[in-house]
Chains A and B, each alone.
Chain A
Amino acid sequence: MLKNQKGFSLVELVVAVTVILIVGGSVTAVLLSNLSDAKHAAVVEDVAKLQVALRSELLRSGGEIVDSDSDGDYLDELVVNKTLDKAPQSIRGGSWYLRKNETEINKGMYYLEIECLTETCESLTTMLDEKFDGNGDSSTGAVQWSFSEG
């Protein structure tokens, strides 16, 4: 006499759930990775825009941007002078500062400080380094980074 086999056995259920978890996990990982890449690309784009705005402001001002509020940051000057439509917003919880350092060789060097959460910074460095430096080194070149301890 044959048994009435309705439904799934425990083994079948375990296999099915395992497969669903593996496939679902992979899809989620890919989606999150794509989302993360898109966010990082937005940051790189913001830095590139800022570089163009900086050059425009340098040309407009004859090579000398005045830090009108003496806060040591020139980002607000670019916005006030309308060479940049708004300060970059692409890093949540991050802060951007446009600094200038006087040099002996040149009139000045402008650089961008991006403060960000460690996990954001870690994954951002690769894209920024590829775009603006290319040496992949955290302590030499045009793009350098440092993570606080603890």
Chain B
Amino acid sequence: MVTWGDSSSGGDSSAVEGQLAGVEQIYSNVNAFAALKSDGTVVTWGASDFGGNSSAVEGQLAGVEQIYSNGYAFAAVKSDGTVVTWGASSFGGDSSAVADQLTGMTKFVGWRDKPVNADEIIGRARYEMKMRGKTGIVVGLETI
């Protein structure tokens, strides 16, 4: 992992350098970054007010499948369908007011864990396209 730029905005990740192995995806807001690792844990750095410091929810950041962000906060969807938020509290970082509603969120299976019949479905779409005399490409985007 290589970072650069204003250190107060996440340009310097040396404090978490040792944790940044097995990173699959990086998410960001205007002043912080969150790295989702292959084991479902999350590493954050950058401005702490913007979510660069996630120590308050560290224990909850396991089994994370997806992270979303706005300019000031992060929200992580976990494999059990729950959501963990952190960052600027007035910009979504504090979701305690709606905590009881944040369960059973849509879980994306994604193509890394695609169902066994994914090839067949995409293949059928490809075949139908050919039968219509069209040249084309089929791209599987999401399973839910």
Contact of A101 among B111, B116, B125, B135 (CB under 8 A): B125
- Chain A neighbourhood of B123, CB < 8 A: 139-140, 144
- Chain B neighbourhood of A55, CB < 8 A: 66, 108, 142
B112-144 Cβ-contact flags toward A at 8 Å (1 or 0)? 001111110111111101100111111111111
Known: A132-B111, A144-B122. A115 touches B142 (CB 8 A): no
Complex interface: stretch among A11-19, A23-31, A56-64, A79-87: A56-64
Q: Which of A62, A111, A114 has the most CB of B within 10 A?
A: A111
Q: Is A146 an interface residue (CB 8 A)?
A: yes
Give bound CA distance, A114 to B141, whole Å.
Answer: 12
Interface residues on B, range: 20 to 34
Docked-complex contact B135 and A117, CB < 8 angstroms:
yes
Docked-complex contact B135 and A58, CB < 8 angstroms:
no
- Chain A neighbourhood of B56, CB < 8 A: none
Q: Is B30 an interface residue (CB 8 A)?
A: no
Known: A132-B111, A140-B123, A146-B129. A112 touches B117 (CB 8 A): no
Docked-complex contact B125 and A99, CB < 8 angstroms:
yes
- Chain A neighbourhood of B141, CB < 8 A: 47, 50-51, 54, 98, 110-112
Known: A106-B109, A111-B121. A144 touches B144 (CB 8 A): no
Nearest chain B CB to A55's CB is how many angstroms away?
Answer: 6
Q: Is B14 an interface residue (CB 8 A)?
A: no
Docked-complex contact B140 and A146, CB < 8 angstroms:
no
Docked-complex contact B117 and A113, CB < 8 angstroms:
no
Give bound CA distance, A146 to B114, whole Å.
Answer: 21
Docked-complex contact B140 and A140, CB < 8 angstroms:
no
Q: Is A92 an interface residue (CB 8 A)?
A: no
- Chain A neighbourhood of B55, CB < 8 A: none
Give bound CA distance, A101 to B66, whole Å.
Answer: 23
Q: Is B106 an interface residue (CB 8 A)?
A: yes
Q: Is B26 an interface residue (CB 8 A)?
A: no
Closest 6 CB pairs of A and B: A142-B140, A63-B106, A146-B130, A105-B115, A115-B136, A145-B137
